[in-house]
Amino acid sequence: MHMPMGMGRRPCKSDSRGHRKEATGGILPVQGRAGRYTRGLFSFGNTGSIVFCVYVKACTLALWMAADKINVLMVDDQPSRLLTYEAMLADLGENLIRAGSANEALDYLLRNEIAVVLTDVNMPGLDGFDLADSIRDHPRFQNTAIIFISGANITDTDRLKGYEHGAVDYLFIPVIPELLRAKVRVFADLYRKTRKLEMLNADMQRVSARMIAAQDDERRRIARELHDGLGQELTLVKVLVDSLHSPDARAGEASKAIEAALQQIRSISHLLHPPLLDELGLESAVRWYVQGLTRRSGIETSLELEPAEFPRLPSAIENAVYRIIQEALTNVFRHSGAKNACVTLKSGEGFVAVSVRDDGRGIPDDIATFKPGSVGVGVGGMRQRVKEFGGELRLMNAGPGALLEVIIPHVGAEAHSLSASTR
């Protein structure tokens, strides 16, 4: 696959008659096999194309955000001042919205995405400070930049009060046009970059979800092929060896070796994707894994269920919870030095809760606080699975040992399953 072509002129491709035609849709094409082009934003055939999709999306977003206008809300009860501010900010090329009162401004805020609010302090009814309080009280607008302008409240105490009410800046009348433009431009650019990061993060989460789903599908496929393919072939070989009835001791040793290989294949196949998870549900799969871990590692591991008759959950949730428990217990075995571990599963109305506790040496504080650079692939994978369902993961020292707690809402799982089925 070639790197993206230039963004200036849209590349062409050939139609069925060999004529060159302009690529459509506004999406950067990617040259593939036989000179064909695919739509880069939707090429999710493999991991490479997923990563390339993010690259293309980033390039597209950079151009779109640079050209997109943002909304600047100007609030003042004197129309002449609004016209003055509009003239000062016209060169910025943004959408300038005028509001003659705080109530009118709040109405605009509820109906539009506002990047910057430029407001007078002294207004009849709700003043600028009241407006700022109302804006900050709404979760949607807590990060909206508010700039106060005042011709009367011009002391340092007034300025401090403005900052206490959530202002990012406080200007005095007469306003210097160049200064006002510079300040609005800074906050407008910051708003654009923040939106771009949010969109890229959302894309990365979608890509991560697809990669996790692809990993789970691959595990299921390999487990099935090991069991149904290689496992069946070895079973046939063992039957043939056993049917020889040879007095040679080597025949018996060969049969035992084949039986050991079959057992290993079954174990690997079930660890990759236990058939119990699909057939009988989460409780049976976790119980099988816990018993196997106790047998293989010597760590006495117990399972507690609430309610005792543990219900079936949506398949996407069951798979995610099983993988989280599997990874958590693997970490206990590898790193904790524990002698005992306990897994607790609780199903409530609209949620499922998981806890894994051990009596080992605990975990470093930087891992417990998810400090960047300290979290490994295993913990990172668990966090991503939980995030996909809108859940929460906590990791802490329990004295002795460590405690992992996970809460996943059922609604998140249903939404996830629906979105996965539409991809």
Structural domain boundaries in the chain: 71-175, 276-421
pLDDT digits (tens, 9 = 90+) for 231-256: 666 776 766 666 666 666 677 777 77
Does residue 71 contact residue 113 with C-beta atoms inside 8 Å? Answer: yes
What pLDDT score was predicted for residue 208?
67
Beta-carbon contacts of 106 under 8 Å, excluding residues fewer than 6 positions away, are 131, 134, 135
Q: Does 3.30.565.10 match the CATH number of domain 276-421?
A: yes
Q: Which of 147, 136, 132, 140 is nearest to 185 (CA)?
A: 147
Q: Per-residue pLDDT for 358 more than 90?
A: yes
Distance, in Å, from the CA atom of 189 to the CA atom of 180, rounded to the nearest integer, reads: 14
What's the confidence (pLDDT) of residue 271?
65
| Cα(113)–Cα(190) distance, integer angstroms | 14
* pLDDT above 90 (res 8): no
The per-residue pLDDT for 261 is: 77
What is the chain's mean pLDDT, rounded? 76
Q: Given this model, what pLDDT does residue 64 score?
A: 43
Beta carbons of 73 and 108 less than 8 angstroms apart: yes
pLDDT tens by residue, 89-135: 999 999 999 999 999 999 988 888 888 999 998 888 888 888 988 88
From 321, 309, 308, select the one nearest 277 (Cα to Cα): 321
Distances (CA, A) of 64 to 26, 69, 388, 423: 11, 10, 27, 25
How would you class 126 by CB atoms within 10 Å of its CB: exposed for 0-12, middle for 13-18, buried for 19 or more? middle
- Whether residue 405 is predicted with pLDDT greater than 90 in this model: the reply is yes
pLDDT of residue 226 exceeding 60, the answer is yes
The rounded distance, in Å, linking the Cα atoms of 366 and 395 is: 11
Phi/psi at 26 (5° precision) = 70, 15
C-beta of residue 105 within 8 angstroms of C-beta of residue 99: yes
CATH of domain 71-175: 3.40.50.2300
Tens digits of residue pLDDT in 163-199:
888 888 888 888 889 999 999 999 888 888 888 888 8
Share of the chain above pLDDT 90, in %: 19
pLDDT at 290 over 70: yes
Q: Is 343 exposed, middle or buried (0-12, 13-18, 19+ CB in 10 A)?
A: buried
Q: Please say if the pLDDT value at position 16 is more than 50.
A: no
Max CA distance (Å), the chain: 110
Q: Are 5 and 11 in contact (CB under 8 A)?
A: yes
